[in-house]
Every structure is written in C-alpha cells, then in structure tokens.
Chains A and B, each alone.
Chain A
Amino acid sequence: MMTLTLAVRNLLRNRRRSLATLLAMAIGATSILLFGGFSTNVNYELHTRHVQKGGHLQIQHRDFYLYGSGNPTAYGIADYTNILAAIQSDEALQKMVLVATPTLQFSGIAGNYAAGVSRTIMGTGFVAEDINRMRHWNDFDLRTKAPLSALEGAAADAAVVGTGVARVLQLCDALKIERCPKPEKEQKADSLALPDDIAQLSLQETPAASGATGTNPRRIEVLVVNARGAPNVTSLEVIRAEDQGIKELDEVSLMMRLAQLQQLIYGQTSPKATSIMLQLRHSDQIPAAKARLAPILANFSTKQPLAMLDFRALNPFYVQTMLMFDTIFGFVFVLIGGIVLFTVSNTMNTTVVERTVEIGTLRAMGLRRSGILRLFVTEGALLGLFGAVIGVALALVLSVVINQIGMPWLPPGNVELVPFTVNVWGENGMILGTTFGLICIAILSAWWPAHRAARLDVVEALRHV
C-alpha cells in the first residue's frame, strides 16, 4: 500500500515530465487502437461481403473446389434437394441457418449476335430470392448495405452480367452503363479486307443490316455444354450489368436464374447443383453447424463424396488480407511499443538519478533491494496504466468523430465507396490487449532503471549530489 502511495506521489512530484510521458504513451495507445479499429472494420466489411455473397458454409462435391473450374457441371450434387430437405428439417440447424440455397456454376460462351461479338464466361445460376435474403445479413451492424440482385422478380430468361462482359459484348448503350468506352475500329488493310461478294453476304446475314426490326439490343445468346456433353444454346435478356470489383471476375461473370440454367444443362433429366450455400445467423455458429451437418452429409456421401467448406476456405483472399492487416498491426504495435519503451525508460532513468539520495536513505532505513525495485516498477506500471487509459479514452472519442465524418474511401475489391470507419467501441479484446500490452512494455522499460536503482551502493547513493 505504501509502495503504491509513494509511487503515485512520486509521479505527481514532477508533473510536467510525467505528463509528457503519459502523453507519449496515450498517443501511442490511440494510434494502435485507431489502426486496430480500422483493421477490424476492414475485417468486418470483407467478412460480411463474403457471407452475403456465398454464405458461411458451402456443401460441394469433394473435388469441386480444386477441379470444378474446368468443368463445373461434372461435379454437380445429384441429391441436393434431399440434402436441403434434410437440413431444413433438422431442429438444431433450423435455429442456426438463415438461408439454405442451391447454386449451379457453369462455363460457356456468351455472344451478342447482333454485334457479332462473343466471349467465354463463368456463370452462376441461383435462386434470386434466396440470394437477396442473404444480402441482408449484417451481423456487425455495418453502415453499408449490399446491392440486391436484379434477378428477383425478373423474367425467367433474365441475366445479370459483369460490366466487363457488357463492355466486351457491346451492351453498354443498351444497359446505359456509364464510363464504358467503345473500342476504336481499326482500318483494315486492303490485303485483309473481305472480298466484296463475301462482305455483301456477311452484311445480309447481320440482322440489323438486313433490316430486321424489333430486335432487343440487350439480348445475348449463351452456349453451354449440357450434361450429356452436347452443346446447348439459350437466349437471355441482360437486365443489368454489375461491377464485380475485380477486373478478371468482372469480364467473365454472368448470373441467371437457377431453374433456367438447370433446364439448359440438364434438360429433362434430374437437375443438380454444384453448391448448397448455408448462411447462418452468426459466424461463431460455424463449428456447431459443421458438427450438425456432418452426419447428414454422411448419409448422402455414399453415392458421391461431399465436403463442407467455410467461407474462409472458399475465399483465401480474405484470409490473406486479414493476415496482412494483422501483420501490419503487429508491426505498428512493435514500433509504437518501442517508442513507449524508450520514453518510459528515459523517464525512469532520469528519476533514478534525481532520487539517488532518496534511494540511499530508504536502503539505510532498511528497505531491501527488492523494495526499491518494486517501487520503481510500480511507478512504471502506473505510467503504463494511466497512459493506456488516456489513450483508450482518446481513441474512443476520436473513433466517434471519424465515424461521424464518414469520409468516403474505396477498399480494394469494392465497387462502391464506403464511409471510412474505425471500430473501437465494443472491441473489448483489442482495448484490453492494448492496455495490457502497454502496461507490460512500461513495466519492462521501468525494470532496468529500477534494477539499477536497487543495486546502488548505499554509501555512494547517500553521497550523491
């Protein structure tokens, strides 16, 4: 008790120096927490985006994740309706699962016959109503809302494409896409020009040129390979182009209704799905949901090997991004911790020199070396505690101010500006960790000067001027 009293009063003894040290620590703590808050917000944004898009868990053919991109339809789940029924009838899963919905991926070629252009695509068929329900998931109370799919309530042959697909297929005018440059047509060299008769024939074959009227300029044709390996074509009306955020994805994405796609690929045979997406109420229910799903899937795995993958496994980019942020956070913490270490150590060293006679007096009166060590370490710990507490308070206030300002920024992979947000309030683990970490650093930095003080020769200390 006396050690604590002495430590507090000694800190108050040189108020200006203590205040300067506290401020250095507080600013350090605030910086750590604000960056941590930003990093946490990025985590929540990415987490939410992936869960809104693909759910928490996906049931797939065991090999679909690794090999499915080559020929997605080859890895379809035959019993998916029964699996869905089993999931929906399970009492425990009912409490956890918000949405359970099938999707079907495919690859093919999309062409704008009228414009004479085509390109390969990676498409998805889904139940738009379910997908839009998934996009309402917002467990972290983010301020940004996910855009809903335009396929809900649209015609059966409606499709949504990436803006890159729309650009290549020359649908920009029809879809009224802004900032969509058209390619400059190159003058063909005479030697490469078509012979007149063939050019005339080609012109006649072009519907627009041949005078065909009433053609829908948003109509495209999609060529796929059906379940039996034969080509199949359907005509779709593109109702919207959506920026997918990543150029490579934006230039191949096509989304359409599941039933239409299944009809296209499986015809009259029983349809399949490549994934069953499960969105849970909360992300921390993933282990429980997995445990509950395992026996259900085991029943259906006799005919085809099935696997459960969570959104982290399905989105390595998310994991890598968060790993990068964690690494930067660790680096920032070490950097600021080093500054705090140096500041507190410097303060304590000065204090020891100034109080050398006092140390000698205390030792002469019978205070053991450990008592001196305890006294100075307590002073360091108090500096750490108060500095961290002030830093936390400052970070809490600043986070409110920053969030109120709502400065817009575009995170990587995003298609829309989002308000710059830092999550400090409610991040108790981060706050406690930072506080505890800074106290430990302060104790560590006080330890060496304290040790030096404790080892002082009593006579030399008393003689100190």
Chain B
Amino acid sequence: MAILTQVEKTYHMDSVSVPVINGVDIVVRRACFTVLMGPSGSGKTTLLNMIGCIDKPDKGEVIVADCKVGNLTDDALSDFRAKNIGFIFQNFNLLPVLSAYENIEYPLLLAGVSAKKRGERVLKLLDAVGLGDKAKNFPGQLSGGQRQRVAIARALARKPKLVIADEPTANLDSQTGAAILALMRRMVERYEASFIFSSHDPYVINAADDTIFLTDGTIRGVRRKGADDVP
C-alpha cells in the first residue's frame, strides 16, 4: 500500500540541522495493521507524515497507493489525500463547530458525494464505531474515547486505502485506548484499509500485523505476525 525507498529527512532549525530519518525503507502491506514503534524523537511522526503525503522527504521515494507522490503539486496532493488517505490524530482534531455527524460528513462533502449517499455512509460509520446515538453531539459533548471514535469514522468516510494514526491512544486511558485499538483492528478487517500508526506502547504490538521498530531515524527491525523478525 505504501513503499518508502531510501528516504531521508533533515530538519533545519536556525543554523542547526537535525537529521530525523536516515535512509529508511518501509513497505506497508495492504489491509494490514502496521505499527511504527519507537521512543520519542525516533522519527515515527515524520515517517507517518511522509506516508500521509503531508511532508516530503529530502531524498528517496514515496509511493502510496501505487502513485509516486513526490512530483505531485500541492493541489494534486490535497486531492490525493482526500481520496486515498484518512488521518487519525492524537488530539482527535475534530472540528469543534461541527457535530459528530457533520465531522464524518465533511470529507464526503469535499468529495462532492450526494446528500443521500452521504447520509447513508455517515450513519453506517456512526453505527460501526458505536456512536449511532451521538450523531448530533458536538465534540465538546463527547468523551475522549468517543471523540476518537468519531475521528476513526471520519478517517474511514471516503473508504481510503490507507489510514494514518499518530499515537491515537496516547491521550486516552488504558481501557479506552484498548477499546480504540480493538475498534481500529475491526475496521481494518471490515473496510480492508491499511492502518499504520505510531506508538511507544508495547501493548499495541500484540494487536499489530506488522511492527516496525525505529530508533534515531533508522529501522532497527521489522516484525511481521507469523514470520521471523527481520533485523
């Protein structure tokens, strides 16, 4: 679903250059639950941003959904993201002025989906994430777990091929985090979307199909469920 080849990225802050990704190769498999595991500052978010087409590598190539995204214009990248990629954020990032229903509906509006189809899709997703009765609630009226469920439903609204989640359970208590993890796992199976998310919580490894271990911008190992660890 996503292939990163010899990707490098350096951040420049004033006169200081900080290399964050050093020649990384990653393959995100179709309809798999992939975890980027590593400590803070290991480059997880930067890699997710590049896979999510909101950041570009200094070197190397990024292919998402069979498309080399490096040469796309900003508008083309926006359209590409809208069509192929869903985002789930650590802080949920729901639009506070829209209800749960409208938040999920928004990506469909961007795509110009008809009102009837939008309605069907949103209600189906709300049911899928267990919030059928919270459609009219605004984010401020929902708990953290409920907000993240809305965010998951929003990410899946346009049936994306890839869902990016940056530490989606970091702001949730362990019980809610586990529930969200289980929900994402179910969504992978139900919607056949590839989920890739970052975490430094060892618990999530058990839920993942693939785990990529990252330290200081370098891959230290890859674990694929049912296969031997790749160093």
Contact code string A11-29 (vs B, CB < 8 Å = 1, else 0)? 0110000000000000000
Chain A residue numbers with a CB within 8 Å of B107 are 365-366
Q: Is the interface of B mostly helix, strand, loop or mixed?
A: helix
Distance of B137 from chain A, by nearest CB (Å): 15
Chain A residue numbers with a CB within 8 Å of B91 are 357
A90 within 8 A of B: no
Is B96 within 8 A of A13, CB to CB? yes
Q: Count how many pairs of residues, one from A and one from B, have CB atoms less than 8 Å apart in the complex.
A: 63
State whether A368 and B75 are in contact (beta carbons under 8 Å apart), knowing that A9-B98, A358-B93, A459-B55 are contacts in the complex.
Answer: yes
Chain B residue numbers with a CB within 8 Å of A13 are 96-97
For A366, give its contact among B93, B96, B110 (CB under 8 Å): B110
Is B75 within 8 A of A462, CB to CB? no
B168 within 8 A of A: no
Chain B residue numbers with a CB within 8 Å of A357 are 91, 93
State whether A364 and B75 are in contact (beta carbons under 8 Å apart), knowing that A458-B54, A459-B54 are contacts in the complex.
Answer: no
Chain B residue numbers with a CB within 8 Å of A370 are 75
Q: Which range contains the number of B residues in contact with the other chain?
A: 20 to 34
- Chain A binder among B80-88, B141-149, B186-194, B216-224: B80-88
A118 within 8 A of B: no
A369 within 8 A of B: yes
Name the CB-closest residue of B to A369. B74
A120 within 8 A of B: no
Chain A residue numbers with a CB within 8 Å of B54 are 363-364, 458-459, 462
B52 within 8 A of A: yes
Is B82 within 8 A of A366, CB to CB? yes
State whether A365 and B98 are in contact (beta carbons under 8 Å apart), knowing that A358-B93, A459-B49, A459-B54 are contacts in the complex.
Answer: no
A6 within 8 A of B: yes
A367 within 8 A of B: yes
A189 within 8 A of B: no
Is B97 within 8 A of A361, CB to CB? no
- Complex Cα distance, B107 from A362, in Å, reads 9
Please provide the chain B residues from 86 to 115 with a CB less than 8 Å away from any CB of chain A in the complex: 87, 89, 91, 93, 95-98, 106-107, 109-110
For B89, give its contact among A369, A458, A462 (CB under 8 Å): A462
Distance of B193 from chain A, by nearest CB (Å): 15
Distance of A101 from chain B, by nearest CB (Å): 70
Distance of A1 from chain B, by nearest CB (Å): 8
Contact code string B66-80 (vs A, CB < 8 Å = 1, else 0)? 000000001100111
Contact code string B37-73 (vs A, CB < 8 Å = 1, else 0)? 0000000000001001011000000000000000000
A192 within 8 A of B: no
Chain B residue numbers with a CB within 8 Å of A371 are 110
Chain A residue numbers with a CB within 8 Å of B98 are 6, 9
Is A361 within 8 A of B78, CB to CB? no
A10 within 8 A of B: yes
Is A366 within 8 A of B81, CB to CB? yes
Chain B residue numbers with a CB within 8 Å of A66 are none
Chain B residue numbers with a CB within 8 Å of A366 are 78-83, 107, 110
- Complex Cα distance, B74 from A12, in Å, reads 31
- Complex Cα distance, B152 from A370, in Å, reads 26
Question: Which of A2, A370, A371 has the most chain B CB within a 10 Å cutoff?
Answer: A2
Distance of A373 from chain B, by nearest CB (Å): 12
13 inter-chain pairs at a CB distance below 8 angstroms, sorted by A residue, are A9-B97, A13-B97, A357-B91, A358-B95, A358-B96, A365-B87, A365-B107, A365-B154, A366-B80, A368-B74, A371-B110, A458-B55, A459-B55
List residues of chain A with CB under 8 Å of any chain B CB: 2, 6, 9-10, 12-13, 357-358, 360-371, 458-459, 462
In addition to A2-B109, A367-B78, A459-B54, 8 A-B residue pairs with Cβ atoms within 8 Å of each other are: A2-B106, A13-B96, A357-B93, A364-B54, A364-B87, A365-B81, A458-B54, A458-B55
3 nearest A-B residue pairs (beta carbon): A366-B82, A9-B97, A458-B54
